[in-house]
Chains A and B, each alone.
Chain A
Amino acid sequence: MPMRRLVLLLALSAALVPPGAPGAATAPNFKLKKGAQGQLCLDCHGGQLEETLKKPFVHTPVKSRECTGCHNPHASAHGKMLADEANRACLRCHDVVPAKARSTHKPIEEKGCTGCHDPHASSFKFNLVKGGNALCASCHKAVVEAAAKARFRHKPIEQKGCVSCHDPHGSAKGSHLLTSEVPGLCTGCHRTDRPIFAKQHQGYPVARARCTSCHDPHGSDKRGMLYNHVHPPVAKAMCSQCHEPATSENPLRTRAEGTKLCRGCHAQRLNQFMEKARVHRPLLEGAACLSCHGPHGSRDAGLLRGPPVAVCGSCHSDTIKRQQVSPTKHAPVRDGNCTACHDPHSSEFPLLLVNAKSAELCGRCHDWLRHTSHPMGEKLQDPRNKNLTIQCLSCHRSHGTEYKKLIPYATTSELCTQCHEQYRR
């Protein structure tokens, strides 16, 4: 490394920790002459930093030319000659993550502070690499875009941005980086003691209920910011269809539990599900339908509790993981379209497949059988097992493998010679 660059790093190091800051005491003491902590560095690195230093928000140590606060001028085991591991160098001064955090922001662990902040200078407040919600949209694009496009928007997002409800570093009080837990977070702005509040909620005592069960805090196209997909009784304000009357002793209690409650309206569908030989296990359990569906509303179709890949993946995480590590991605799994092949409620076939014959099931998307393909079908016995016929799944595993083309063997020849043993070498 040229000496000039080294010296600049020295200068930067000095600039990143302000004198007297908590971390200053632990910063290395290089017995530099007065002004040499940063000014000396700029002799070499000044040109490189010239444009940066013109930006409106300059990191205090940079401004005060204390480069050695973050950088070691001689040698370092860390990238960019930092005096410490990236995040630890920042945490010397910026103690922003609560000690007993209930939720922490992933980028802090994965990308470090520089995922969101420029350690030298920036055009945006707090040295952020992008301004306002645009920074959040770098990762949470769908959420930010939906919030901006929503017909009924949540004002705090427009006025103060995502940080009006979320702490971008971590929260000791709430999940999802929320500055406090729902409903306390909501009732900080929304008064629940007004008559209109009771009227809007049909007299149900929802002040202590989970607001986000019905309302989308990021805005929606439904009046009252109800989720875009609303359970019809909620949309019609007919809470008492499922809950005890508002005037009863325990008004939030449901009139029945599990499928018994849902059966009131969905009896025919439930009967159809239960008629089949194999019923998806959650349907049999206490929570039943509510294992996968929200009772009030959802951002996702079918009142699912989240995107399908997240809902299915909450139990079938190994399947999702297998797809993630597979070099070849099967589109329905990649896109979370699990229902392309599986019936989420019940089926006559193992694995809740919608069709047990994989050639027919796969043939819905893959038309190879109509032109060129390895012979397949009910009349072709699998040489490895006389109770199996040659199907797509004879050679492929639909959720992926560690090998290309969803095959369970490292090489094609290894796969083929499972049956065509005469060619085995």
Chain B
Amino acid sequence: MSGRTALRTIALLLPLAAAGAEPLSFYYVTTIYRDAKDVALRSPEGVACTSTSLVVADTGNRRLLTFALTESGAITQTGEAKLAELTSPVRLQLDSKGHLLALDGKSHRIVRVDASGGFGGFLEMKGAAHAPVLVGFKLDAADNVYALDVGSERVLVADPGGNVSRTLELPRGPMMSDIAVDSGGTVYAVDGVGATVWSAAKGATRFTQIGKSLKDSMSFPSYALAYQGKLVLVDQHGMGLALLGLDGSYLGRQLAIGWSDGSVYYPAQLCINERGGAFIADRDNNRVQQFTTAR
């Protein structure tokens, strides 16, 4: 590596390292309990957000709810979708163009939802050796799809059209509950049972464990998000969020068990938008809570 390249690498990595070192705190803002028709949310398991929109997987009611977010903080419902192909929406992702992809917990397939809330087809994993059984997925900045296939114990990496370009075998033994992908293309897999984190750098063919088991710090981490040089894990049975460095080091916890606003009870999915607004599908509290990380 030449001196200039090295300097450039350091210059690129420094902001990331600095971001990773900064604490990440969640401050309660508000709660979404009901839709515009005053129908209560039931066991919501998914959220996806941008700075202007929010989609909620109201899993118990077998529907999606869409909301508009304004800079002033107002949250207004803009739509509701019930799809025959999506009877158990559990995980949601919005791509860079604002298109919604939803994982159905029953069929274990990814469903495209069109702008009008209609069925936009399944995102088929073209070229995968066996029919995948998906339990989690993520998108990167280029809308490439990273899908956790527990049926064949692998992570499938596909282009936005679903053409599989890469397969990462998962290690035997751990029960991966979710994956995350950071801005550098490193894929992280979270072992819900053993509370271990595994990573595969861009171009790697297999996962290696990073850090030690965090069983003493969390219980059944079920969702992972790479955010600002950290891994934010939804500690579902531990009722909160666990913060990790990208090297697997434990940085701390946020939120705690409870039924009042600001607390969580079996949280399911988390999203954080460009403004630092965070939404949590607070499943067993039958609500979605908004927090901010931007104070």
Contact = CB atoms under 8 A, between A and B. Distances in A.
Interface of A: 258, 276-278, 281-282, 284-286, 315, 317-319, 349-351, 382, 384-388, 394, 408, 418
B87 A277 contact: yes
A385 B219 contact: no
A285 B259 contact: no
Contact of B286 (A277, A286, A349, A385): A385
B273 to A, nearest CB: 24
B116 interface: no
B150 A285 contact: yes
Given A350-B43, A385-B287, A388-B286, A284 B133 contact: yes
A385 B260 contact: yes
- Chain B interface category by residue count: 35 or more
Given A258-B151, A386-B33, 11 more contacts: A281-B150, A318-B220, A319-B237, A350-B43, A351-B266, A385-B259, A385-B285, A385-B287, A387-B40, A387-B286, A387-B287
Contacts of A384: 258-260
A281 B135 contact: yes
Interface string B258-295: 11110000100000000000000001111100000000
Given A285-B151, A318-B237, A350-B266, A388 B285 contact: yes
A379 to B, nearest CB: 14
A284 B150 contact: yes
A277 B107 CA distance: 9
Contacts, number: 69
A68 to B, nearest CB: 44
A281 B175 contact: yes
Contact of B151 (A278, A286, A351): A286
Contacts of A258: 151
B106 A277 contact: yes
A307 to B, nearest CB: 19
B153 A286 contact: yes
Nearest 5 interchain pairs by C-beta: A387-B286, A384-B259, A318-B219, A384-B260, A277-B88
A349 B258 CA distance: 20
24 contacts: A276-B106, A278-B88, A282-B175, A285-B150, A285-B153, A286-B153, A315-B175, A317-B215, A318-B215, A319-B237, A350-B43, A350-B266, A350-B283, A351-B266, A351-B284, A382-B259, A385-B33, A385-B259, A385-B261, A386-B40, A387-B40, A387-B42, A388-B259, A418-B259
B108 A387 contact: no
A386 B285 CA distance: 9
A278 B266 contact: no
A318 B216 CA distance: 9
Nearest to B259: A384
B229 interface: no
Nearest to A408: B257
B248 interface: no
B46 interface: no
A281 B33 CA distance: 29
B75 interface: no
Nearest to A288: B151
Contacts of A315: 175, 193
B285 A387 contact: yes
Chain A interface, DSSP helix/strand/loop, else mixed: mixed
Contact of B41 (A277, A284, A382, A387): A387
Interface in B103-141: 105-106, 108, 133, 135
Please indicate which of the listed interface residues A277, A319, A408 has the most CB atoms of chain B within 10 Å of its own CB: A277
A259 to B, nearest CB: 9
A75 B69 CA distance: 76
B152 interface: yes
Contacts of A281: 135, 150, 175
A409 to B, nearest CB: 11
A284 B237 contact: no
Nearest to A319: B237
B87 to A, nearest CB: 7
A44 B215 CA distance: 54
Interface in B88-113: 88, 105-106, 108
Contact of A278 (B105, B257, B260): B105
Given A350-B283, A350-B284, A284 B259 contact: no
Nearest to A399: B237
Interface string B139-173: 00000000000111100000000000000000000
B33 A387 contact: yes
Contact of A284 (B42, B151, B283): B151
Contacts of A278: 88, 105
A350 B219 CA distance: 16
Contacts of A285: 133, 150-151, 153, 175
Contact of B108 (A284, A318, A349): A284
B262 to A, nearest CB: 11
A280 B38 CA distance: 32
A286 B133 CA distance: 10
Interface in B182-202: 193
A30 to B, nearest CB: 47
Nearest to A351: B266
B101 to A, nearest CB: 19
A286 B261 CA distance: 40
Contacts of A350: 43, 266, 283-284
Nearest to A322: B219
B267 to A, nearest CB: 12
A225 to B, nearest CB: 31
A317 B287 CA distance: 28
Contacts of A387: 33-34, 40-42, 285-287
A284 B33 CA distance: 32
A407 B19 CA distance: 39
Interface string B25-61: 0000000011000001111000000000000000100
A315 B87 CA distance: 28
Contacts of B108: 284
A387 B106 CA distance: 25
Contacts of B193: 315
Contacts of B42: 387
Contacts of B237: 318-319
Contacts of B87: 277
B135 A284 contact: yes
A277 B285 contact: no
